[in-house]
Amino acid sequence: MTTIINRVKALIAKAESSPYPPEADAFMAKAQELINDHAIDQARLTGADPTSVGHETLQMKGTYTKERCLIWSAAANANRCQILTLSTYGSSKISNLTLIGREQDRQLVRLLATSLELQAVRRLDDLDPNATTGSPVVQRRSFLRGFALEVADRLRRSGHTHAVVSQAAEQALVLARDAVDRYVGENFDVSSGRRGSAQHDGMAFSHGRRAGARADVGSTRIGSDRRSLPPG
């Protein structure tokens, strides 16, 4: 697993340092291909073994927690994991995020999602507060939702363009996802939450999608160079 992580980090570092978007996308696609290949190997070994699935709870600090969780969901769904969120009663702020899946997959999700959060925060500086009739908070939330949606689409496309795998390997991946679903059903009381009616800034949302289209998946700077989000 350490070898895979290091190879993925190396490819992502090349993507981040490349001034050419097509070249950066090629490095990113190769990184996702390595992740997919590793997932197939692991699924063949463990199949639907429920003991291979676990979870960890991460505290969500700062602002825009709902929108940042959408970024985590994009990374989790692309890598056979699920997330559950916990909000304090009467508050829309998410206090904790539970990441569920195989340990190897969770490690990759942490790598991808943390990097994408950092990239989204940096792109917030590009927003023009005079370009919206709404508040800066609505603008930032819309941007982050657009960013998360675009990243989710890109990760989904990466999976679809992966080389065709054998029927046995495909079945193993299905069993791996089923094992995560069973783990969630057996260990968590999942109820449908109340849907909010958040305000929306179409221009900022589109800006977020464009930023997500340029984002690199992953980072070698995990745990460093962190920045705080503006109040929201």
Q: What is the pLDDT of residue 196?
A: 47
Q: What is the pLDDT of residue 56?
A: 96
Q: What is the pLDDT of residue 101?
A: 92
Low-confidence ranges of the chain (pLDDT < 70): 1, 21, 25, 28, 42-51, 158-169, 191-210, 214, 216-232
Q: What is the pLDDT of residue 57?
A: 95
Q: What is the pLDDT of residue 67?
A: 92
Give the domain ranges of the chain.
2-187+199-214
Q: What is the pLDDT of residue 225?
A: 43
pTM comes to 0.73
pLDDT in tens, 135-157: 888 888 999 999 899 888 887 77
C-beta separation of 113 from 76 below 8 A: yes
